[in-house]
Structure 1
Amino acid sequence: MWGGAYQTEVFRAAFEAVPKGEVTAARALGLPAFQTFLDITLPIALRIAITGTTTTAITQFRSSSFMIVVGYQELTYVANRIVSDTFKVFETFGIACLMYLLGCSILSALSRTFERRLAVPGLGVVK
């Protein structure tokens, strides 16, 4: 639930960040409001929202308690169970840490790739 609220806020901010001149120009050319939204506002807002959406997704992944909802056991919970059986604290949580790092790195790399592919010259800086 909290992830949905954050995602909603990310997209609201992205729609507000669309330059008003773009919308005004489309309306001046005679595009109806819905067509302006589909052709101008939506593509620009989606490009702007990529970074915030990725950040929220990584935060949800790191929190990982939402995974219980979809049927998977939480990684930290599993690590605690292994520690209680084997008493190998550093090894177990070291591996759990590496798994979180790998998952977050993959999400970040995919986001950067997606952001570069959708980049429009003059609309923000993508490195």
Structure 2
Amino acid sequence: MNLGEFLFLLSGLKWTVALSAIAFVFGCAGGLAIALMRTSGIVPLERATAGYIALFQGTPLLMQLFVVYYGLALLGLHLNAWVAVSLGFTLHASAYLGEIWRGAIQAVPRGQTEASSALSLKYVSRMKDVVLPQALRISLPATIGFLVQLIKGTSLASIVGFTELARAGNMVSNQIFKPLLVFGVVGILYFLMCWPLSLYGAHLERRLAAAER
């Protein structure tokens, strides 16, 4: 593998990082909205968001990307590969993060909510100042774990022709006919992205467990 081919892999790595960041940031925003609706006590909202989560957790990510790219085109909405995979991964992330944070919100001791209600705090203040800071702390290990899965899942974006790290590796492999070498490098690049995050998530989980003793 020469320098130009390695730089092409790094270009794919750049798009993997960009796609992961976009999906995670917008997925966080959507996930927070879903978590709040899931715990709102409003039955129609809870049922609608439960169905949304079940849909995305119960179907393969590959199929979701396929539907967003090709299905919307059938309805007359033609998206380029970059927009399609960003939308697909964002919807996927919002469903999973919404369920993670729903569990974290419900894990906050009920007495905290009752005490804030007794102090006449309104819903927004109660969630912003009392519940969500504690829920965020509880959910951090699982959130980081999902981010690791999201980064690895970006390899499926090649289904619509998006050139991220895995697709770049496949293209280089087809040129130089050294798949073991190329995908070994690709694997190392994925490892260098995901391993520090996994270590950080495990560290946070240990700290949280120690604080609860």
Q: 1:60·1:66 contact (CA, 8 Å) conserved in 2?
A: no
Q: Is the deviation greater in 56-65 or in 103-112? A: 103-112
- Aligned twin of 2:82: none
Any unmatched runs of 5+ in structure 1?
none
Q: Is the deviation greater in 59-68 or in 44-53? A: 59-68
CA positional deviation for 1:12: 1.3
TM-aligned CA distance change 1:34 to 1:63, over 3 Å: closer
Query: Do structure 1's residue 99 and structure 2's residue 189 form an aligned pair?
Result: yes
Q: Is the deviation greater in 93-102 or in 56-65? A: 56-65
Structure-1-length-normalised TM-score = 0.76
What is the CA deviation profile of residues 7-36 of structure 1, one whole-angstrom value per residue up to 9, with x for unaligned ones?
111111111111101111222344343322
CA positional deviation for 1:66: 6.9
Residue number among 38, 51, 60 corresponding to 2:141 in the alignment: 51
Give the structure, 1 or 2, with the largest relative contact order (CA under 8 Å, sep 6 or more).
Answer: 2
Query: Do structure 1's residue 40 and structure 2's residue 130 form an aligned pair?
Result: yes
Structure-2-length-normalised TM-score = 0.48
CA positional deviation for 1:75: 1.2
Higher helix residue share: 2
Q: Is the deviation greater in 43-52 or in 28-37? A: 28-37
State the secondary structure of the residue aligned to 1:38: helix
- Aligned twin of 1:62: 152
What is the CA deviation profile of residues 16-70 of structure 1, one whole-angstrom value per residue up to 9, with x for unaligned ones?
11110111122234434332222210101111121221122111100114767xx
How many Å separate the matches in 2 of 1:37 and 1:81?
48
- Aligned twin of 1:22: 112
- Aligned twin of 1:108: 198
Q: 1:18·1:45 contact (CA, 8 Å) conserved in 2?
A: yes
Aligned length: 119
